[in-house]
Amino acid sequence: MEPVNRTEVPEFFLKGFSGYPALERFLFPLCSAMYLVTLLGNTAIVTVSVLDVRLHTPMYFFLGNLSILDICYTSTFVPLMLAHLLSARKTISFIGCAIQMCLSLSTGSTECLLLAIMAYDRYLAICQPLRYPVLMSYRLCFWLAGAAWLLCLFKSVTETVIAMRLPFCGRHVVSHFTCEILAVLKLACGDTSVSEALLLVGAILLLPVPLAFICLSYTFILATILRVPSAAGRRKAFSTCSAHLAVVLLFYGTVIFMYMKPTSKEAPVSDEVFTVLYAVVVPMLNPVIYSLRNKEVKEAARKLWDRRQN
């Protein structure tokens, strides 16, 4: 009986905004522009971090990872969503749905851990400046980033396999614009308790735990900054972590709003619009925040541009 779900549901219909054609026409140019800015902005951050030797530091190594994550995350669903906004056929294959679900879960989960790792990096840089080069070695940077990517990929593959092996009994209309795991689980006609338990454990480990670690790190950072005697020293210390703090507030604020509020069986279209905007807006704003708040990034980008012009 295991293959029944595959033969009865060869593809899923992503309902999305199919009942709101005017909204689809509005969202297409808006999301297209934001996706383009996301790709260009994050690619620019990665390029500058790689080409400028002065940015070969742990902080910019993790920032490059964050930019790559943002590109991967938005690319898992935005191109297909844009195609569906212009087409009456809004389907995705069973395998395609599983891949999309796994990749979006993996990249989103990795970002939660990466933001916590970046907070730890800022804590060491500000609170342990003399020992920082030893404590945050390049080898440790690669280990931390690699562990975050691999652990979240393993977690996401496990959650996806368990969810997609459930029987769907012919139900194929997903009330979402992407194969979001909670929306797909609503179609299952089998026992979803194992999947729901895994998602709950994952949500606890990837939301409150990293956020508490980030808050603790910034408590120590703030206490250290306040002990700096000069105002110029305090401003310089705070400027090194203000961009990261802004990204943390933006990311966790939107995620908590979306996933910690009461949910109904059929989410209103306003929730899906907000999901589209936060899933595209947050990755778009990350490079903007780091560029505006970081003199080193702006200076490196300016020099690379001048070198190319000459």
DSSP labels for 151-205? HHHHHHHHHHHHHHTS--TT--EESSSS--HHHHHTT--S--HHHHHHHHHHHHH
The confidence score (pLDDT) of residue 269 equals: 59
The confidence score (pLDDT) of residue 92 equals: 93
Give CA–CA dist 125/132, Å, rounded. Answer: 6
181 vs 106, 112, 127, 161, CA distance in Å? 12, 18, 40, 11
**Beta pairing partners, 173:** 13
Beta strands in the chain, from DSSP E residues, in sequence order? 11-14, 91-93, 173-174
Residue labelled with tokens 């560029």: 291
Which CATH topology does 11-297 take?
Answer: Rhopdopsin 7-helix transmembrane proteins (1.20.1070)
The confidence score (pLDDT) of residue 4 equals: 42
- Strand 173-174 vs strand 11-14: parallel, antiparallel, or unpaired? parallel
91 vs 97, 239, 265, 295, CA distance in Å? 9, 46, 22, 45
In which residue ranges of the chain is pLDDT below 70? 1-8, 233, 236-237, 240, 258-271, 291-301, 303-310
The confidence score (pLDDT) of residue 163 equals: 93
The confidence score (pLDDT) of residue 100 equals: 95
Of 169, 130, 138, 162, which Cα lies nearest the Cα of 62? 138
Domain ranges of the chain: 11-297
- For residue 154, count other CB atoms closer than 10 A to its CB: 11
**Buried b or exposed e, range 237-259, using 16+ CB within 10 angstroms:** beebbebbbbbbebbbebbeeee
